[in-house]
Amino acid sequence: AQSVAQPEDQVNVAEGNPLTVKCTYSVSGNPYLFWYVQYPNRGLQFLLKYITGDNLVKGSYGFEAEFNKSQTSFHLKKPSALVGDSALYFCAVRARTGANNLFFGTGTRLTVIP
Amino acid sequence: DTEVTQTPKHLVMGMTNKKSLKCEQHMGHRAMYWYKQKAKKPPELMFVYSYEKLSINESVPSRFSPECPNSSLLNLHLHALQPEDSALYLCASSQEPDGNSPLHFGNGTRLTVT
């Protein structure tokens, strides 16, 4: 069975400071990992994905994420937060074989304080 | 702006009504999805169409009936819904139905069942 955990419902960070949104996963074999962002009353927007190769993945809007196989984590990071980054962030995992539905974490609401 | 277009944006319907949600993409994607999202929750997969054929039905009640008329269109027909079906219904597409293709989401239809 596959699952995704986002341990923090809410993350607050001051504008200009680095931000981290945490994600851990459980899946058989090597996973495909994704981050999505959702603004109010909008659909989800794809930010970045890890498929294979370099553990540090760079994505849209200056976001990046680091795949850590030993810790089964895929934390989302940004060096300097913007007020406009305030949104709901979802981590998602997909198995490479078998039933490979995309499973979403419960989401983390990021608030960047001016 | 999203490349997946959903109509209508908002829908209010009674429990005896019949209505349809529509989704359209012109990116040449070969997989299309319906998700249901309740407030402050992650999206839940309902249906997946792969090359215009229904490939996944996540045990969705028969009052929800999907249809894929062609590779660009996806409909969700609604009949005899319950108030607990009120939610944001998201359509998504991906280039291929395999695991590493990111999903592109529409902005959703906000459904209220009275």
Q: What is the pLDDT of residues A37-77, one digit of tens each?
A: 999 888 899 999 999 889 999 999 999 999 999 999 999 99
- DSSP letter at B2 equals -
- Tell me how far CA of residue B61 lies from CA of B28, B35, B49, B65, in angstroms: 29, 14, 17, 8
- Where chain B has pLDDT below 70, the residues are 1-2
Which residue in A51, A96, A107 is closest to B42 by CB distance? A107
Distance from CA of A36 to the nearest CA of B (A): 9
Q: What is residue B80's DSSP assignment?
A: S
A-to-B residue pairs, Cβ atoms closer than 8 angstroms: 55
